[in-house]
Structure 1
Amino acid sequence: MVDNIGSNSDIFEEDGVIIMEQERLLPIANVGRIMKQILPPNAKLSKEAKETMQECVSEFISFVTGEASDRCHKEKRKTVNGDDICWALGSLGFDDYAKPLKRYLERYRELEGARSNNQNRATNSNEERDMEPRIPIKFGVIEESNKSFSRRF
């Protein structure tokens, strides 16, 4: 549970640990950059809009991570992994996000495994390591035929 301490809204207490507000929120510049990607080029974002979204996404991340952490605790594990996050999204009713994220995670693991195998082969045969730049995995578009939205991520 997170509680404000005294009248100072910049300090919070969570499970007996004092947390400064800037430590529990995503950087506002990153939030603003992500927001601008979906808007038309000439659109402006107010400081209030960025701060509101910063609070929302930070709370959402805490909410999902908390659910995943509870699962790990019940299973006597100490590390939250990508599968736990996908499970938490689904159990909290965010199936529209859990399913594509699960596919993304599987694809990411496939590519990382292939990359690791290539590096091991190059090392074992005393060849120079392949210094190819990492290619980001495109998440694509979520389109639901029975929904009225599609978002590019």
Structure 2
Amino acid sequence: LPEDMKFELIEPLKELFKDEVRELGLELGLPEHVVYRQPFPGPGLGIRVLGEITQEKLEILREADYIMRRELTKAGLERAIWQSFTVLPDIRSVGQLHGRRTYCHTIVVRAVNSADGMTAQWVQIPFEVLEKISNAITKELPIVNRVVYDITSKPPATIEWE
């Protein structure tokens, strides 16, 4: 809170980890689709867009993320993965579309399992599902010509890229 506000900030659940918040949600009778929804980055979606954040880049990221989640759900994997998301790095790569050279965005797919968020292991999404994710992203988003898969655990990396 801003210092000049005359409020006292009370956060009784601040010390709970994500797994404990989910346990509490189930105990309180919240619907499973609410309890098990994917964590959203505290600083906002912009931390998944590396480099300059623009409306166009946010739209690309949202669409890619939607496509990835859709394919994971079709494969029955949405509840088997603790956190999954896409990242739009600040790089473009050479590709080819309809016989013509392209210079388009790259999307990173990231999926991890964790008990508490303090450590995390990358998830081995089956190759058939990764292929569907990659094909769907590059087909539905012609501005993307490359999809890469982040297989780094925490540590040495963090879950988010920034």
TM-score by length of 2: 0.30
User: If each structure's strand is expressed as a fraction of its own residues, which one has the higher value?
Assistant: 2
Computing the radius of gyration over CA atoms, which structure comes out larger, 1 or 2? 1
TM-score by length of 1: 0.31
User: If each structure's helix is expressed as a fraction of its own residues, which one has the higher value?
Assistant: 1
The higher relative CO (CA closer than 8 Å, separation ≥ 6) is in 2
